[in-house]
A and B are shown apart, each in its own frame.
Chain A
Amino acid sequence: MTSEETADRIERRREGLSHWKWLTGVWLILTAIIEPVIYFLIWPHLPPGNMTSSARGAQFDMMVLTMIAAPVMVAVLAYFAYALIVFRHPKGRPLVDGPPLRGNLRVQTAWITITSAIVMGAFVFGTYELIVPAGAGGAEGPSPIWTPASHTELPVQVIGQQWIWTYRYPTFGGFETTQLMLPNNTEIAFHVTSLDVIHSFWAYQLGVKADANPGVDDVAFTQTNQLGRITVRCSELCGIWHGAMYGYGEVVSPSAFETWAKAMERRLAPATRLLPPFAWTYTPSANGAGGGYYPQTDPYYDKTLYDQGRSGPEGNLPALRVEKSQRVG
């Protein structure tokens, strides 16, 4: 190597170090700005809110992942902008390629180490958060890995059927209703099942999402810690009216919940007696249609309507007319 080549190499290395210093400086400044913005300003507004322990957990996870991702994004964008400005090819000068990265052990080692650390960190953090702190609000099947320490949770059975959700409260006589009402500051155990196809119970503000499989008791835990309205949607395509399978619920004070539940238990007692005994799963008949019963046992039997074929019980209704296009034959 000649002395000229050595001098050129040293000069290029000095230039390279200078670029790195600039880039690192810009990256550090931008990261120092964006990280507090995420922590203090964006975190409280990240979905799904903090209405329950699982929602708060999901919000925290999103904050951590956003804070990990933000410096990476800043680095990419800063390098992009820096390259556009500094490495711009001046008109009239010969095009010279930069130093090759291949064989550059320091760059390769740094790249593999940093990216592996980020991915492995996200993997360990995600796995821990999924299982350990609060069950993450996801369903854990009939034998949950994580269970709350209190063991005093309120069980609420969620039953999916095309295309509506119903809820059973086993600790209040097992009444069933289309209203989802929950007490505040209470550990809730959702037992999710289905009477027909696969649905998915997604209570957005609660941070709870659980598949509803027929014949399966899918358990998800959460603890309520804020009053408010809940939106429930089905998040598994379950037929043409899947989009209409939504409803609303509410987290109320424990005393209001107690009052509501006891009133519902009393009011719905006749209907509850017709329900199957409470179970974690049900095996419904394949099809409710068919009949097979006889008017002798019919409490609503009306001889006029059933047997005589008279021209209608209410004389003031309009006469039945058949539209021509609807006739057959």
Chain B
Amino acid sequence: MPKAARLALALGIFVVAVALAVIGAMAYLRSNPPNVDYAAGHQSGQPVHLTIQTVGQIGFGAHPSWVSYLALAPDGRWVHSTLWQLPAHTLVDVTVYEYDTGGPLRNQVFGSVSGVIGDDYVLNGKPVRLLDSNSGNGVAHTFSVPALGINVPLWGVPSSAKNICAHAPCSFSSVHNVITFSFRTPGPGQYHWQCLIPCGAGFLDGNGGPMQSIGYMGGFLKVVDA
């Protein structure tokens, strides 16, 4: 084989290898965390039930000590993901099992409930519109969708409790709070949501690590046409 042909072959193999590596990396990045699909098979006019939990430490994976959200997939599995696909213009009934300890908010304005139906929610059976994070257990996390005006502060569990969950998914045998609320999805689009509590302990201003990572304390509501 002439030298030029050998060179072209080597170059071709190199280009294909690089392309495969890039495609593989992109495929991995796009699949992790997975998309939890609540829109597939959704019947028009029916509400979507979104059940999620917040944990003080996920207990597995690359960052077992990080705080995190998990979602209960329609097939009954707890999935470590913050990418939730929802049908457009649909009522979403949310149940949050909150397993993390709380504390005072950096900005007390996020102790107010907003953007949900009725502008209040139910915390352990009691209606709530505003949480005072300077008393009691404080606020552990928030579920906030700035583009939709949604802010839901999640009351913390007592740090003195002996049965604090240390490994997700947490079960009902661990100390937890139950929060329920509803909101209506807008038109199709990707809506960024995040926790507004700087709960990335050990990072600058508490806003690094899990606060900056999809799959932990922030993600997207992927609203699609039903």
Binding site for B on A (CB under 8 A): 159, 161-164, 166, 176-178, 195-197, 239-241, 244, 247, 268, 270-271, 274-276, 284-295, 297-302, 305-307, 309-314, 317-323, 326-328
Contacts and interface: CB of A to CB of B under 8 A. Distances in A.
A314 B174 CA distance: 15
Nearest to B108: A274
Contacts of B178: 305, 313-314
Given A292-B101, A305-B124, 18 more contacts: A239-B208, A240-B213, A275-B108, A288-B104, A289-B100, A289-B198, A290-B101, A290-B159, A291-B101, A293-B102, A293-B103, A293-B137, A295-B137, A300-B126, A309-B174, A317-B51, A318-B76, A323-B78
A268 B119 CA distance: 12
Given A320-B169, A326-B60, A328-B64, A291 B159 contact: yes
Which 4 A/B pairs are nearest by Cβ-Cβ distance? Answer: A291-B101, A291-B159, A287-B206, A309-B173
B106 A285 contact: yes
A288 B217 CA distance: 14
Contacts of B146: 163-164, 178, 244, 247
Interface stretch (B9-17, B19-27, B37-45, B189-197): B189-197
B108 A306 contact: no
Dominant SS among interface residues on chain A = loop
B187 interface: no
A314 B72 CA distance: 15
Interface residues of B, number: 81
B133 interface: yes
Contacts of B138: 288, 290-293
B76 A321 contact: yes
B51 A291 contact: no
Given A241-B218, A276-B108, A291-B101, A326 B169 contact: yes
Specify which of A176, A178, A327 lies most central, judged by the most chain B CB atoms within 10 Å of its CB: A178
B59 interface: yes
A321 B168 CA distance: 11
B78 A322 contact: yes
A288 B133 contact: yes
A164 B169 contact: no
Interface of B: 51, 59-61, 64, 67, 72, 76-80, 95, 100-109, 111-112, 114, 123-126, 128-130, 132-140, 144, 146, 149, 151, 155-161, 163, 167-169, 171-178, 192, 194, 196-199, 201, 204-208, 211-213, 218
Contacts of A178: 109, 114, 146, 149, 151
Contacts of A328: 59-60, 64, 167
Contact of B107 (A161, A290, A306, A309): A161
Contacts of A318: 51, 72, 76
Nearest to A325: B60
A268 to B, nearest CB: 7
Contact of B136 (A162, A271, A300, A311): A300
A307 to B, nearest CB: 8
Contacts of A319: 76
Contacts of A305: 124, 175-178
A323 B60 CA distance: 12
B103 A297 contact: no
A268 B112 contact: yes
A293 B135 contact: yes
A288 B197 contact: yes
18 contacts: A159-B107, A196-B106, A196-B207, A239-B212, A244-B146, A271-B108, A287-B106, A287-B206, A288-B133, A289-B100, A289-B101, A289-B102, A290-B138, A294-B158, A306-B158, A320-B171, A323-B77, A323-B79
B139 A322 contact: no
Nearest to A214: B205
A195 B109 CA distance: 13
Nearest to B119: A267
B136 A275 contact: no
A166 to B, nearest CB: 6
B106 A161 contact: yes
Given A287-B206, A320-B78, A302 B124 contact: yes
A164 B115 CA distance: 15
Contacts of A312: 172
Given A240-B212, A288-B199, A298-B158, A162 B207 contact: yes
A311 B97 CA distance: 13
A271 B130 contact: yes
A146 to B, nearest CB: 31
A289 B201 contact: yes
B198 A288 contact: yes
B109 A275 contact: yes
